[in-house]
A and B are shown apart, each in its own frame.
With several copies, the nearest count.
Chain A
Amino acid sequence: MAHREVLAEPGSRVVMLGNVAFARGALEYGVSFASAYPGTPSTEITEALSYASRILGGPYVEWSANEKVALEAAIGAALTGIPALASMKHVGVNVAADPLFSSAYMGVEGALVIVSADDPGMWSSQNEQDNRWYGIHAYIPVVEPAGAQEAKTAIIEAFKLSEKWKHPVILRTTTRVSHTRVIVEAGEIDIAKIKRKGTFVKNPEKYTLVPVHARRLREELVEKWEKISNDLSQNQVLNHAEGNPDSETLVVAIGLGYRYAKEILAAHGLLDNVRLLKLSAPVPLPKSLLLNEAEGREKIIFVEEGDPVIETLSKALFYDYNVRAEIYGKGTGHLKKTGELELHHVEKLLAKALELEKTYFSHAMIKPDIKLPPRPPVLCPGCPYRAVFYALRRAVGKARIRPIYNGDIGCYSLGVNPPFQMQDTIVEMGGSIGLANGMAHAQDDKVPIAIIGDSTFFHAGLPGLANAVYNRSPMLVVVLDNRTTAMTGHQPHPGIGVTARGVEGTELSIVDAAKGLGVEYVKVIDAFNIAEGEKEFYEALEYVKKERKPALIVAKGACILLALAAGRRIGVYPIVYRVDDDKCTACGLCYKAFNCPAIYSKDDGKAYINELLCTGCGECAQICPFDAFEPVDEVPPEWLRLMREAKPT
């Protein structure tokens, strides 16, 4: 997505997604280098910067192979003296953790902001983790914007903080900051600044973390940490108190917590009664500000998204300084520790602490008395993965093996649902091959089949594959190559050869990569060709059984959404399919076992196709035992080509 509003006229007010506001803020500050790997809820930051770069000719923007490479590249850029941004989702920081820790020791020359987009509530993630702990663990300050309303300001402040202290800064956003649209006022962008190049000045005593240097840097780091804490106590933009200075109650509202606290206090008419401390830069704990505000209060309430991080640190601080107040927060059990906060949770907390009787946000929920079917996300009609799952299952049956489907992160994780249920483990990016490695040696009654997407393969599959070859793990690796990072919205990756700036990149081959890593059995199949898939999967499984080594199959077929989009651009459209009622026997295979969302059952059990949903992939025609499906017209060869070769622009 382009997110054109990122380049809104200076002075104008526009509706902007929080993530786009981050991008805008970075541009206004003068970011000159941005790297990222896509991941919900962080993706749009880099999409917007990519758009800006294409229009303005700067900053340098790249989709990196993974978050570790993205952060390393950004550290490299920052060491040349220019401001750099590395964006990722919360679990991406796990991938990038190793350079993250080192970056605090080395510091930076220009500025370095690392976006960690946390996902409380797990809207699109394998877990919930509060990455402010990384800030504490790695000695890196954390800026946490008070909602999308503060996104632009907060990232600018994060850059300033980084520049001032020559230290990396984590900007922790969450789903409801990143994916919330608000009205933002656009400021000036200095194009010369964002296009500037840096220069590297050698300073091995700082930049080479051999023990003799690292020991000195550790001392400096611990000292710097206290100084930054003092600085954050003074930073009125990010951290400040409002309301009644003499109140017996202090509400410490961290990040988005400020919005919740403020709306509730306003509704209850308490804004002028209690003291409200907004902390948008809570790590390192701004000790003097906090102590100053806490002194003499009877009650202190903590509102924060995630773990009770700031509450815990604050209580330890209060202990040392003899602050004695009643505390209300997650740590004391007054606020839930899982999922994301909502107004009624926070109102309940405040009501308890402030002994409020009336509530404004905690209405009784009305639940209509009707059983609703769930609606999980599903593989799209025409998704090549459906054909692959189908072919693979048949091959497994034919090979008479018991499979373990080691799944991974991507649209194919939806294969966990009926009717396929062909994802037995989904752990993290690259976990498919990694877990299969262990299972290949830890048991021998089943055959591990690692299922991994193309973008994920380049992100995290390579070392695992090297390991499988080296340690001779008998397993089948299926790389689902749909020519894009589909789940996050169709970003390119190393296998595509299109860069974030729209300039030509080099296209890597998954087949060559696998062969280069020593896999002896490597084949490519047409993902849309079910018979071919079944045959090739069967043969590969036989190889694995016999040779006790890994085999790899690349199932190539474009994400159907990409193919449709590419077709629209050049005026090529799919031909939908229809059911021949005379041939259809109402066996239900197409809408049950194959489960295409465009195919429904009529009252008589016969199939019919919703032509608004049908993408003309022709998979149904392949699986129907009675040849009941046919295209309504001749299928243009150009469309068949797009289904195989479409890619992002």
Chain B
Amino acid sequence: MKSLNIVLSGVGGQGIISLANVIANAVLESGGKVIVAETHGLSQRGGSVIVHVRIGDVEAPLIPPGNGDLMLSLDPIEAARYSVYLKKGSMIFVDNNITPPPLPGIKIPSLDEIVESLEKEGFDIIVVPAVDEAKKAGNPLGANIFLLGASYQTGILKEYINEEAIIDAIRKNLKKPEKNIEVFKRGKKWAEERLTR
């Protein structure tokens, strides 16, 4: 009954489903089992998006609230929104850019406020400059893969996914594969530097 439950979150259009697909294919390449539950349709239009990735001995598509082991999020607000799906103490890799919902007259919390509230609940927040770093690497849409690289470095995924499998999955499933592989490696490197400090 070994399993790893990953919550992916963000805003429609940020590449969450692509990220899930890369992870799933990497699990396949690594010889494992995987289930990915996606949100399609209306919510893609700039709405809040969550994708459930379940790896290992699992049957059902959705991670129950309080059962996720890890989150990768491309937006801090969405990270906070879907943190209910995580176990206490889980790691949350989140991009540092907030995309404000385009609703007139609403109050947007700051990154610090969000991080603080999550840390208070005992989560292990890693704020990642994924979008910025992906841009630097000439692949502004690669933030999702940068986050994957960063989280991979921590080792939490290693038991289920080989690094070569990720490289292979990127190659087979993404446009501009070489650029994305580069971004993945930068993500890893960033984490190595940042997290071992």
Contacts and interface: CB of A to CB of B under 8 A. Distances in A.
**Within 8 Å by CB, do A and B touch in the complex?**
yes
Contacts of B20: 181
Contacts of B66: 362-366
Contact-size category for A: 35 or more
Given A365-B66, A370-B113, A592 B34 contact: no
Given A179-B37, A368-B120, A370-B114, A263 B58 contact: yes
B47 A375 contact: yes
Interface string A355-389: 00000011111111111111111111000000000
A180 B47 contact: no
Given A262-B59, A365-B84, A366-B66, A374 B101 contact: yes
Contacts of A369: 117, 120-121
A123 B84 contact: no
A180 B83 contact: no
A40 B41 contact: yes
A266 B57 CA distance: 10
Contacts of B28: 13-15, 183
Q: Interface SS of chain A: helix, strand, loop or mixed?
A: loop
Contact of A373 (B25, B39, B107): B107
Contacts of B46: 375, 377-378, 380, 597
A569 B62 CA distance: 37
B80 A259 contact: no
Contact of B43 (A123, A266, A363, A593): A123
Contacts of A340: 62
Interface string B32-54: 01111111111111111000000
A41 B41 contact: yes
A520 interface: no
A411 interface: yes
B21 A15 contact: yes
B81 interface: yes
Interface in B5-47: 11-12, 20-21, 24-25, 28, 33-47
A336 interface: no
B41 A123 contact: yes
A258 B61 CA distance: 12
A370 B117 contact: yes
Contact of B61 (A180, A266, A363, A600): A180
A124 B40 CA distance: 8
Interface of B: 1, 11-12, 20-21, 24-25, 28, 33-48, 57-62, 64-67, 77-78, 80-81, 83-84, 86-88, 100-109, 113-114, 117-118, 120-123, 140
Interface of A: 13-15, 17, 40-41, 43-44, 123-124, 147-149, 176-177, 179-183, 211, 256, 258-260, 262-263, 266-267, 340, 342-344, 347, 361-380, 411, 414, 417-419, 487-489, 591-593, 595-597, 600, 612
Given A15-B21, A595-B104, 10 more contacts: A15-B28, A123-B43, A148-B35, A148-B61, A177-B61, A182-B34, A259-B60, A262-B59, A373-B101, A375-B78
The 6 closest A-B pairs by CB, nearest first: A363-B66, A124-B41, A40-B41, A377-B47, A597-B102, A263-B59
